[in-house]
Structure 1
Amino acid sequence: MKFKKIISLKSLIILGFVIAVIPLFLGVMYAAFAMRETAILGRAINYQVFAQTKAIRLVLQKSSDVERKARLFILLSDPALRQPYERESYENTRSAFKQALSELLKLHVDNKIALLANELSEKENLIYQQIMGSAAGDNASVAVNEAFQGLRESSNTLSREFESHVDHEFNELRQQSEILEQGLLIKGAVLLVVSFIFIVLLLIVLSRSMRQLDAAIRRLGSTELAEPIVVSGPTDLRYLGERLEWLRTHLMELALSKRQFIHNVACEIKTPLQEISEGAQWLASDAEAQGDAMRQSMALVLCANIEKLHTVSEELARYSQINAMSAIQHPQTVNLKEVLEAVIMDYQEPIAAKSLSIKKLLRPVAMSGVQEQLRGIIGHLLANAVQYSPVNGEIRIMLREAGGQVELEIEDEGPGIAPEDRSRVFEPFFRGKGMLDDANEGAGLGLAIVKEYVANHQGCVDIIDPREDQQGARIQVRIPLKEL
């Protein structure tokens, strides 16, 4: 719990940044370290190979010098022809050869190269011993020639072996570089996957909280206040959820107060209206009995207005009880086409009074809902269409199932609803520009009741643009189909 309390949106963003940057930093540091190690190793191998190559070349060169000096020494084997410095020159060349071999062995060459170098030294010693023996009077020219041949073969073998050794060293360096590259790629991929997983988890947490906030705001905007608002995630987003929950309860209290007020008003004016209505009827009867036509006409106008007030009172009482009645009414399977046909039959008298024609495009639709409320939706929309339609006008009704929803459209040829009034026509008692005619004056609650009934079925009702070459009101109701 303490851990959850300290996690905020700010801390998650900082943590996400750190988690995203640390693997990158580690990857760069590892790559720099690996490249440094590879560079050091490469420089060491290059220096070693260069030094050994120089030493090998010097050994091979001195080996050729020894052979040349030895042959010259043999050619001048006659003491009368041999100069004193010839032996000294030969000895100096041998010393240089020995020094070159010593320098080569100091470089910690491969064991096989060291063995070949020692073998080359032994063969040179053999040549020296044979030459010195022949100088003493022994005839060993054949053996000396074979020794020279062995010296050359040993030199060539040493040269080839060193070339093979160099190739081997560089191959190992290349393999180590490839292994390092593969390791770098693997570690980088692992770090990238770890960062990606953490970022995905962070996005899941944040997106879940944002979806919860979005759903809560949408429910508040559509006045769906029954479900509590709970937002999980960072502390600041949970705090926003708590404030939205406070707003929800406050809106519920306001809505309850408004409905209670409307209900109280409807109840309070019911009895006085009844008494006033009885008094107005008595005045009308008394005026008729006395033959006072003017007084009788005024009494009849009074009775008509009282009847309108009585209708408003009933609408107020019905509107205030919508949610209370919804709680006790249970959904059932409703054939919406049959309900619509029945409502149209109920309005045949006002339809015939205005000589209206009904154009229907109805598809059979069965859905789960409260039949009384579904009938009320159709009844109020049809009543408005009849009320605002001109004489000899046409009312178009469409009912169909589309995309898992029930779509109901009712369109008339009346004055229509101004675009600036579309967002408010579903408010109680609101009257738009096309509804201000006294002849068409009603309670002003029909569309508000329609909106409440549709919301109880998790649907929505909208004013949409009329069809081409039409100007009347076109109202669309969409209610999701539930499993029956």
Structure 2
Amino acid sequence: MNLNFFSLKSLIVLGFAIAVIPLFVGVMYAAYGLRETAALGRTINSQVFEQTKTVRLVLQKSSDIERKARLFVLLSDPSLRQPYERESYEAARASFRQALNDLLKLHVDNKIALLVNELSEKENLIYQQIIGAESEETPILPLDEAFQGLRESSNTLSREFEAHVEHTFNELRQLSESLEQGLMVKGAVLLTCSTAFVLILLLLLSRSMQQLDGAIRRLDAGELEEPVEVAGPTDMRYLGERLESLRSHLLALETSKQHLMQNIAREIDLPLQAIRDGAYRLNHPGNPQVLHPQQDFVRELVGQIDKLQGVSEQLQHYSQLQTQQDASAKQTIDLKVLLESVLDKQQAALQAKSLKVKKLIKPIRLQGVQEQLAAMFEHLLVNAIQYSPSAGEIRIMLREAGEQVELEIEDDGPGIASEERAQVFEPFYRGKSAVNHKVGDHSGLGLAMVREYVNHHQGTVEIIDSRQDHPGTRVRVQLPLNPEA
């Protein structure tokens, strides 16, 4: 069974329907069968009752007509016979024939109908003999055998009708037993099908649950190589997809952590190597390779130690950014005033390289964390200053773009290759430009911290294509004017 097109809710409803509908159908079928059987029983009982009553009437009338006929024969002398006696005989005979006709109208079976006709013929034969003998002077009365035949036919009709009634009720009982057996068989089949379907459904759901449990256990154990695959209903597959997304995210975090550790090791290793070299020179003053006085070595050692201290401080600051998001510190900030203050602090660095700043800054007010926005401006400006050639130009634009604030900082430096633009925001990542031009002796966390600052303000930061007339690095930051709480 393919459950990919079903949700867990629909499967629960389907399972309930599969379990209840056959039961409902079975009950309705049983009710219908019982109703039909009861109706048939009532009909048969009514028919048998009417037939029994009519047969008894026929047998009674048969006895009456035999008695009337014998009395009529005994009074064979017309001078002794009264007129009403013949009328009484004729009336009894008419009543007998009416009873026979009533019995035939009840749709009795053929055998009983033949016996009724035979009884009618024997009675008619007796009548013909009695009436024929009445017209003669000497009556011929061979009637004992005729009366005996009439009684035998009546008895035969009685026995046959009893057998018919017994046969009819036996058929009704067999029909009831057949209906009961059919209900039992159909109920067993429906119950078996429902049970089989529910078991299959539980088996498939259990398999999905086992797949989810196995995936969670692997993630908990740190086994991230095997992808998460969950088959079954849409709900289960959605949970599997979410777990797969989590696995991919954890794998990316693990890879990023490994790169971070490698970059931290490299950032610390270079100053440590310089410190070791300086210490060796101080320990061997007579070394012919010593080209600088000791105070230069001490100055170099202090610089490397300061660099290590800066790396440590930046790491602590970056760690705090990833674990803390204090929304209560936000306030209304004039971004133009803030950016101008950051530019004032960088005047010395700008003048040292004779850099020109071309700016288009609009007054914009924004809800944000002032320290983070100032640090973001500072990191972007420091990068632009470091990568700009002497006597170059830095272009700054701050404006509103729809529902967003848009900041662009562009320099005339070597630029960043398109394949490196996403990676430069990773901690300690150094692109080809930084390595080839030997710039950026900072901690390597500047752009990573910029991304964190922007994320805290629900914005985006990216490296975009530079202008044709100004090759270099062009950074764009977009912050929403009305960030969500």
What are the superposed Cα offsets for residues 136-165 of structure 1, whole Å, 9 maximum, x if unpaired? 334434x21111111110000000000111
The percent of aligned pairs where both chains have the same amino acid is 69
Match of 1:414 in 2: none
Alpha-carbon distance in structure 1 between the residues aligned to 2:180 and 2:81:
65
1:254/1:20 Cα in 2 relative to 1: closer, same or farther (>3 Å)? same
Match of 2:140 in 1: 140
- Report deviation, 1:174: 1.5
- Report deviation, 1:184: 2.2
Alpha-carbon distance in structure 1 between the residues aligned to 2:93 and 2:261:
126
Alpha-carbon distance in structure 1 between the residues aligned to 2:61 and 2:250:
105
- Report deviation, 1:282: 13
Q: Which amino acid aligns with 1:137?
A: E
Alpha-carbon distance in structure 1 between the residues aligned to 2:81 and 2:74:
9
The residue correspondences of 1:348-427 to structure 2 (distance < 5 A) are none
Q: Could you tell me the TM-score, scaled by structure 2's length?
A: 0.53
Match of 2:92 in 1: 93
**Is 145-154 or 221-230 further displaced after alignment?**
221-230
Matched, 1:130 2:126: no
Alpha-carbon distance in structure 2 between the residues aligned to 1:172 and 1:109:
16
Q: Which amino acid aligns with 2:233?
A: P
Alpha-carbon distance in structure 2 between the residues aligned to 1:100 and 1:138:
33
Matched, 1:22 2:21: yes
Alpha-carbon distance in structure 1 between the residues aligned to 2:216 and 2:140:
113
Aligned 8 A contact 2:8 2:233 in 1: yes
Alpha-carbon distance in structure 2 between the residues aligned to 1:151 and 1:270:
135
- Report deviation, 1:246: 1.2
- Report deviation, 1:46: 1.0
- Report deviation, 1:173: 1.3
Match of 1:11 in 2: 10
- Report deviation, 1:240: 0.6
Q: Which amino acid aligns with 1:187?
A: K
- Report deviation, 1:178: 2.0
Q: Which amino acid aligns with 2:242?
A: R
Listed as ranges, the gaps of 5+ residues in structure 1 are: 284-484
Q: Could you tell me the TM-score, scaled by structure 1's length?
A: 0.53
Aligned 8 A contact 2:4 2:232 in 1: no
Alpha-carbon distance in structure 2 between the residues aligned to 1:279 and 1:46:
123
- Report deviation, 1:265: 5.3
- Report deviation, 1:49: 0.8
- Report deviation, 1:271: 8.2
Q: Which amino acid aligns with 1:233?
A: G
The residue correspondences of 1:97-246 to structure 2 (distance < 5 A) are 97-135=96-134, 136-141=136-141, 143-246=142-245
What are the superposed Cα offsets for residues 39-96 of structure 1, whole Å, 9 maximum, x if unpaired? 2211111111111111101000000000111112222223343222111111110010
Q: Which amino acid aligns with 2:230?
A: V
Match of 1:58 in 2: 57
Match of 2:47 in 1: 48
What are the superposed Cα offsets for residues 371-396 of structure 1, whole Å, 9 maximum, x if unpaired? xxxxxxxxxxxxxxxxxxxxxxxxxx
What are the superposed Cα offsets for residues 20-53 of structure 1, whole Å, 9 maximum, x if unpaired? 2222222222222222221221111111111111
- Report deviation, 1:214: 0.9
Alpha-carbon distance in structure 2 between the residues aligned to 1:27 and 1:138:
78
Aligned 8 A contact 2:58 2:99 in 1: yes
Match of 1:441 in 2: none
Alpha-carbon distance in structure 1 between the residues aligned to 2:183 and 2:47:
27
Question: Could you say what secondary structure the match of 1:7 adopts?
Answer: coil
- Report deviation, 1:13: 1.6
- Report deviation, 1:224: 1.7
What are the superposed Cα offsets for residues 265-288 of structure 1, whole Å, 9 maximum, x if unpaired? 5676678889999999999xxxxx
The residue correspondences of 1:424-463 to structure 2 (distance < 5 A) are none
1:138/1:224 Cα in 2 relative to 1: closer, same or farther (>3 Å)? farther
Alpha-carbon distance in structure 2 between the residues aligned to 1:215 and 1:47:
71
Alpha-carbon distance in structure 2 between the residues aligned to 1:48 and 1:137:
49
Aligned 8 A contact 2:58 2:100 in 1: yes
Match of 2:37 in 1: 38
Aligned 8 A contact 2:76 2:139 in 1: no
What are the superposed Cα offsets for residues 298-356 of structure 1, whole Å, 9 maximum, x if unpaired? xxxxxxxxxxxxxxxxxxxxxxxxxxxxxxxxxxxxxxxxxxxxxxxxxxxxxxxxxxx
Alpha-carbon distance in structure 1 between the residues aligned to 2:18 and 2:162:
50
Match of 1:355 in 2: none
Q: Which amino acid aligns with 1:88?
A: E
Q: CA RMSD in A?
A: 2.9
Aligned 8 A contact 2:68 2:92 in 1: yes
Question: Could you say what secondary structure the match of 2:231 adopts?
Answer: coil
Aligned 8 A contact 2:230 2:237 in 1: yes
Match of 1:247 in 2: 246
Listed as ranges, the gaps of 5+ residues in structure 2 are: 283-485
Question: Could you say what secondary structure the match of 1:100 adopts?
Answer: helix
1:4/1:74 Cα in 2 relative to 1: closer, same or farther (>3 Å)? closer
Alpha-carbon distance in structure 2 between the residues aligned to 1:280 and 1:174:
115
What are the superposed Cα offsets for residues 177-222 of structure 1, whole Å, 9 maximum, x if unpaired? 2222222222222322332232223222211111111111111122
- Report deviation, 1:256: 3.2
Question: Could you say what secondary structure the match of 1:230 adopts?
Answer: coil
Q: Which amino acid aligns with 2:140?
A: A
Alpha-carbon distance in structure 1 between the residues aligned to 2:280 and 2:58:
141
Alpha-carbon distance in structure 1 between the residues aligned to 2:156 and 2:233:
76
Alpha-carbon distance in structure 1 between the residues aligned to 2:44 and 2:137:
50
Match of 2:255 in 1: 256
Match of 2:67 in 1: 68
Alpha-carbon distance in structure 1 between the residues aligned to 2:5 and 2:131:
95
Alpha-carbon distance in structure 2 between the residues aligned to 1:276 and 1:152:
144
Count of aligned residue pairs for this structure pair: 281
Alpha-carbon distance in structure 2 between the residues aligned to 1:222 and 1:264:
26
Alpha-carbon distance in structure 1 between the residues aligned to 2:279 and 2:148:
149
Alpha-carbon distance in structure 2 between the residues aligned to 1:79 and 1:204:
101
Match of 1:420 in 2: none
Alpha-carbon distance in structure 1 between the residues aligned to 2:160 and 2:138:
36
Q: Which amino acid aligns with 1:140?
A: I
Question: Could you say what secondary structure the match of 1:231 adopts?
Answer: coil
